[in-house]
Structure 1
Amino acid sequence: MKEKAVAEVVAREAKEAEARAAKALEEANADRNHLNKVAEDLKVEVQNRVTIIEEVTARAAEAEVWAREAAEAMDSLISSLDKLKETASGCVIMIVGTILDASDNTAAVNELSERAREAGFKVGYARCSSHMNPLYQSKFTDERSGFQGVDTEARLAAAVEAYNNLSISAIEDIDKCLEAEDYVDRLQLLYGDPEEEKEEEIAGSGKGDAGTSGIKEDQVGLRALLFDFLFNVNSRKTYVNFLCTA
């Protein structure tokens, strides 16, 4: 009886141990499945992070390329702007020089200078005579000045008035071109067709310079300078905008 009781106890303990082992195995399997799931989730998360890093790296590289291209473009624009300012300033100087050297302007300035010299000489001669007359018994007059009876002040005033009302054909051409709204129309008003002008020049040379008889020297000079400047640059529209709207 005792042996049977012992055997039953051993059998019961064995079953309990087996049950505990089965439960432990089940829990271990559950933990393993959970760990596997966590590992898969971590793999997915890592892959997502890797993808994000690769995308960010690609965008950073692209941004660097854009930044480099933008810097190069800015340097190019600054260089072009400096050249534009330099060339435009040179063009303005040439235009001003051409206008100042125009035959009409030169003649008016010469006339004004001559009349001012005459008026100054007569006034100076009269002042000198007024200083010398108290020292001598004989009286000095303006008889030998060369301007006795000549109203030099009136002649000077007339020269000043003529200079103020001076009309230069080159300036009139520029004013006329400014009336057009379109840049191309402005150019067409200021310049003729080079081929047509060349043909007219050739035809005029065969007729005793008849082809240029109606164009003044200052007008030809201004057109030649502006034509050479405007039509030999790539950014023609920018230069024309500067000249015709400044």
Structure 2
Amino acid sequence: MLWLKERGIASVAESVLNSEELNKTVARLLVAARNDGYAQGYAECSHHVVNALKVDWDTSKSATHGVNTDAALAAAKTEFNNLQLPVMDLINVTLQSEDHVAQLKETFPDGEDKDEDPA
């Protein structure tokens, strides 16, 4: 259990956090959130200009005109919330093993001699 507590958890966590599927999904979510924030900020600013100056502000040439950033952000959130990582399936199968510590060592090696007890 010492390996699992000291080294194994880090190897398992790194495998999950560094998974390509998670990285790509988080990147898409960040881009969608940034785009939506920009579009919403531009719309709010335009609204304030119209109210303050009592003029019609033409937003038809803005990069956000006609773009539904809400839908893109909602889709990115849904993708993130429904994300399934293959590494999690591997972890679940490994934990079903009778000797799950040995199985985790084999599945997620940390490159050190794990049989030595430093205590």
Q: Does the alignment reach a TM-score above 0.5?
A: yes
Amino acid at match of 1:228: D
**In the alignment, is residue 187 of structure 1 matched against residue 103 of structure 2?**
yes
Match of 1:95 in 2: 12
Q: Is the 8 A contact 1:115 1:159 kept in 2?
A: yes
Match of 1:232 in 2: 114
Structure 1 residue ranges (4+ consecutive) displaced by more than 4 angstroms after TM superposition: none
What is the Cα deviation at residue 116 of structure 1?
Answer: 0.5
Match of 1:153 in 2: 70
> How many Å separate the matches in 1 of 2:26 and 2:47?
31
What is the Cα deviation at residue 175 of structure 1?
Answer: 0.8
Task: Give the 5 Å matches for 1:129-208.
Answer: 129-136=46-53, 138-180=55-97, 182-183=98-99, 187=103, 191=106
Match of 1:114 in 2: 31
Amino acid at match of 1:161: T
> How many Å separate the matches in 1 of 2:63 and 2:44?
15
Amino acid at match of 1:174: I
* Equivalent residues, number: 117
> How many Å separate the matches in 1 of 2:111 and 2:91?
15
Q: Is the 8 A contact 1:91 1:229 kept in 2?
A: no
- CA-to-partner distance for each residue in 1:47-87, whole Å, 9 max, x for gaps? xxxxxxxxxxxxxxxxxxxxxxxxxxxxxxxxxx9xx38x7
Instruction: Sort the Cα spacing of 1:144 and 1:95 in 2 relative to 1 into closer, same or farther, 3 A.
Output: farther
Higher relative contact order (CA 8 A, sep 6+): 2
* Identity across matched positions, percent: 24
Unaligned stretches of 5+ residues in structure 2: none
What is the Cα deviation at residue 162 of structure 1?
Answer: 0.5
Task: Give the 5 Å matches for 1:63-82.
Answer: none
Q: Is the 8 A contact 1:122 1:145 kept in 2?
A: no
Q: Is the 8 A contact 2:29 2:73 kept in 1?
A: yes
Instruction: Sort the Cα spacing of 1:134 and 1:103 in 2 relative to 1 into closer, same or farther, 3 A.
Output: same
Unaligned stretches of 5+ residues in structure 1: 1-80, 192-222, 236-246
> How many Å separate the matches in 2 of 1:150 and 1:97?
37
What is the Cα deviation at residue 178 of structure 1?
Answer: 2.0
Q: Is the 8 A contact 2:8 2:110 kept in 1?
A: no
Could you say which structure has the higher helix fraction? Answer: 1
Cα RMSD for the two superposed structures: 3.1
Amino acid at match of 1:183: D
> How many Å separate the matches in 2 of 1:89 and 1:130?
55
Structure of greater Rg: 1
What is the Cα deviation at residue 107 of structure 1?
Answer: 0.3
